[in-house]
Amino acid sequence: MSKQINVALIGNPNTGKTSVFNALTGLNQKVGNYPGITVEKKEGICKLPRGIKAHIIDLPGTYSLNASSLDENVVIELLLNKNDKDFPDVAVVVSDVENLKRNLLLFTQIKDLEIPTLLVINMADRMSYKGISLNIDYLEKHLETKIALISTRKNEGIENLKNLITNFKELPVTPCIDASKIDKDYFDNLRKAFPNQLLYKLWLVITQDVNFGKTDRNEIEAVANFKTKSKGDLKRLQQKETIKRYQFINNVLKKGQTIDITQAKDLRTKLDRILTHKIWGYIIFFIILLVIFQAIYDWSSVPMDFIDNVFASLSEWVKNMLPNGAFTNLLAEGIIPGLGGIIIFIPQIAFLFLFIAVLEESGYMSRVVFLMDRVMRRFGLSGKSVVPLISGTACAIPAIMATRNIENWKERLITILVTPFTTCSARLPVYLIIISLVIPEGHIFILSYQALTLMLLYLIGFGSAVSSAYILNKILKIKSKTFFVVEMPNYKLPMFKNVALTVIEKTKSFVFGAGKIILAISIVLWFLASYGPGEQFNNAETIVKLEYASQNIDEEDLQQKIASHKLEYSFIGLTGRAIEPVIRPLGYDWKIGIALISSFAAREVFVGTLATIYSVGSDEEETIKNRMASEINPILGGPLFTFASGISLLLFYAFAMQCMSTLAIVKKETNSWKWPILQLVIMTVFAYIVALIAFQFLK
């Protein structure tokens, strides 16, 4: 039986830690959250020599063990708690060859915890480009570790890294420096008070606000209360500790690292001057957005049409091949159209994640965050709020989780409340199907009307978020003294493997996450649409035949009218009729009303719901889009999905809080039902009013 070891990947942000994780684990990885905490947890499996299996956990990026955010606390809590099931047998500290001095601060702190620690120096392929040379033997001797010099871009040094991890027991666990020398008397007293504990661990417990799981609570509280010094004195000691560590690091790098500035060829300054320019920066970002939305439409049209036709044909095939009955109808009219309603959007969602991954991998996304900070501050948001707002284009839930980096509570609260306005990928299926129905296919120069409409919806969402933040800033009287700090990583060509893994992982989680909900709702909707109470439903065939007895209509039309009559008087039809008076002024019929209600579970369910409703009783081999296009407005006549009703629906979804999961995470993050309820009521009322005005004006 193979032995399993725990490996913790630790490092500063932007050192290529994720690239190392991907190189070691490939597709053998999963993403979740730490138990009871909304911080992303990435873990995977790597096969090592001698039949050893490594359970690798990719910890959140941190600059040191002096935590200032929840993400950094996660790192400390794991490294100090030997009872944790993920406590590492070996810590792998990933550093960047261009920022080795800064990265080594964290390395020396972890060494002081006497955990076997391996140093990985990444991006080795840039050494000659930057005029950097390293004396690895000298560095290994004075840092008392083994060093893996790697390039994930060129896949160099990975096998050596695996071998070093396998032989982790050979790594020395002696600290790099004696941190107790910063205040000998204080640390001597601490050692006497807790003789059986590791001294540096005691120091971290005293200076950090962390949790320790199953660790002896009484012992931890006793250590934490050992504060014979004031908070200010402890801060000064932390500063002295940092200075001492950098003195050690500087001495080691004097001989261990050589940088020939004359050899360094750096375009970064020139590029930054353009990409973060107060005018050109915004123009370039706007052009990039236009290109992205145009590509989303152009590149995905062929696979989307193929998927649409496949599911229409599959439904028809199931009806023809299986015996008539409830199970066949459930498959053909409920499950298959419901799943088709989400799978059809895989190409566009995959392309969206592809572009986001490329922007992040290249280093450009950090420039966007820096650029947008100038705008955000005018609306009462800090620069740190920009990250959740931008990541909200993928999903509001992890975006709201990302607000935990914002130290100021009021700033964080405002960011949580306005983030759902940004257009998430769950809205994308709704936008795409409605835009394709009501926006013509013409072009302005090389840009299609449909791509421009989609981009406009994204801008409306972002504009609503910052406008709402401005209003909340005035109402809540926010006074923020926090500072915005963002690291500008070096520009680099995105690694194909990293981008591919991101697209696969994100698309898979979107499809499977939404798929479970859609499958369940499709089954419930099919049942509600296929059965109903009273004579009107049970005697539908007799009633319709009598109504059209005097008219000469063929059998196919007659069966269609019977199916429509049944649907109207089914459980779902009666529910839709009950709410129709409320939504009719917006240009919607009862079928859209049902889709609005069911999509509260998840916005993307809207299309699946309509696909299920329109499929019930339909014998034609017809696509979802064609069925929706052929719907007739029962009040006004003509197509149901007109320019007016389509724009009304797009605006409703742009502003409404149509997501149960987002409300749940807001409740968890704010620890109160007050804020999610206010969010739900205000956003829904606002969406209704805007949609009403739009329809009444445009019709």
pLDDT digits (tens, 9 = 90+) for 310-329: 887 888 888 888 888 878 87
CATH topology of domain 1-264: Rossmann fold (3.40.50)
- Which position has the higher pLDDT, 294 or 175? 175
Average pLDDT over residues 46-69: 85
What are the b/e assignments for 567-593, b being 16+ CB within 10 Å? bbbbbbbbebeeebeebbebbbbbbbb
pLDDT of residue 215: 45
Lowest mean pLDDT among 26-35, 87-96, 188-197, 343-352: 26-35
Question: Measured between alpha carbons, how far is 366 from 268 in angstroms, rounded to an integer?
Answer: 13
Tell me which range, 364-368, 396-400, 507-511, is most confidently predicted by mean pLDDT.
364-368
pLDDT of residue 227: 57
pLDDT above 90 (res 690)? yes
Average pLDDT over residues 240-258: 90
Lowest mean pLDDT among 68-77, 91-100, 146-155, 238-247: 68-77
Helix (H) or strand (E) holding 614, with range, is: helix 605-615
CA proximity to 95, closest of 87, 104, 86:
104
3-state secondary structure of 651: helix
pLDDT above 60 (res 420)? yes
Which band of pLDDT confidence, cut at 50, 70 and 90, is reported for residue 10?
Answer: very high
Helix (H) or strand (E) holding 57, with range, is: strand 53-58
pLDDT above 60 (res 136)? yes
Average pLDDT over residues 54-80: 82
- The predicted-structure confidence for 160-177, as pLDDT tens digits, reads as follows 999 999 999 999 888 888
What is the percentage of the chain residues whose pLDDT exceeds 70? 83
pLDDT above 80 (res 640)? no
Which band of pLDDT confidence, cut at 50, 70 and 90, is reported for residue 248?
Answer: very high
Average pLDDT over residues 41-64: 87
Average pLDDT over residues 29-34: 54
pLDDT of residue 1: 42
Which band of pLDDT confidence, cut at 50, 70 and 90, is reported for residue 261?
Answer: low
The two most distant CA atoms of the chain are separated, in Å, by: 106
Which band of pLDDT confidence, cut at 50, 70 and 90, is reported for residue 486?
Answer: low
Alpha carbons within 13 angstroms on the beta-carbon side of residue 50 total 11
Contact indicator for 75, 148 with CB cutoff of 8 Å: no
Taking the mean position of all CA atoms in its chain, how far away is CA 203? 35
CA proximity to 335, closest of 70, 617, 38, 615:
615
3-state secondary structure of 121: strand
pLDDT of residue 181: 86
Lowest mean pLDDT among 57-61, 408-412, 601-605: 601-605
- The predicted-structure confidence for 580-591, as pLDDT tens digits, reads as follows 899 889 988 888
CA proximity to 106, closest of 212, 232, 224, 13:
13
Question: Measured between alpha carbons, how far is 296 from 437 in angstroms, rounded to an integer?
Answer: 17
pLDDT of residue 524: 79
Average pLDDT over residues 143-166: 90
- The predicted-structure confidence for 428-479, as pLDDT tens digits, reads as follows 778 888 888 888 888 777 778 888 888 899 889 988 998 998 898 888 765 6
CA proximity to 540, closest of 550, 529, 551:
529
What are the b/e assignments for 515-542, b being 16+ CB within 10 Å? bebbbebbeebbebbbebeeebbeebee
pLDDT above 50 (res 336)? yes
3-state secondary structure of 54: strand
pLDDT of residue 410: 79
Domain residues of the chain, as ranges? 1-264, 280-475, 512-698
pLDDT of residue 620: 46
pLDDT above 80 (res 653)? yes
Which band of pLDDT confidence, cut at 50, 70 and 90, is reported for residue 143?
Answer: very high
pLDDT above 80 (res 526)? no
Average pLDDT over residues 54-67: 86
pLDDT of residue 229: 63
Average pLDDT over residues 273-297: 82
Whole-number mean pLDDT of the chain? 80
Q: Residue 209 corresponds to which tokens in the numbers above? A: 């606000």
